[in-house]
Amino acid sequence: LQAVRDVFTLLSGLDIFNFERSAKRKKTSAPEKPAKKPKSGESSRPGGSSKGSSNSDDNMFQIGKMRYVSVRDFKGKVLIDIREYWMNQDGEMKPGKKGISLNPEQWSQLKDQISEIDDAIKRI
């Protein structure tokens, strides 16, 4: 779990988490509102407390405030999703646009390079 936190810390500094949408983006959609803190009694798991526990929640691992690593199936392919979440007005956590999805091969390559990445962090 610490390795996952280290990976997310490293990835959070990359441009993929701070990118700006291109000028082609439609301006008709409302801007994303800041995340609200869950009220006491509400679940800190994505989906909120209204739906209860599901199998998708079992594959989610919190690595920071409103940041999760999840393992999911998308169109028959396994993806490791590292993403920020936000709270909607109904108190449900929704995935944000800041994040990255890795296939198992990319995940494995990232794990194999953790020690080199840690060394690079120490040198900076």
Coil vs helix vs strand at 83: strand
pLDDT digits (tens, 9 = 90+) for 20-40: 433 344 444 444 444 444 433
Structure tokens at 29: 């959609």
- What CATH number belongs to 2-18+38-123? 2.30.31.10
Structural domain spans, the chain: 2-18+38-123
Q: What pTM does this model have?
A: 0.54
pLDDT digits (tens, 9 = 90+) for 91-123: 999 998 889 999 999 999 999 999 999 999 999
Residue 11, pLDDT score: 60
Q: Round to whole Å and give the CA distance between 124 and 44.
A: 34
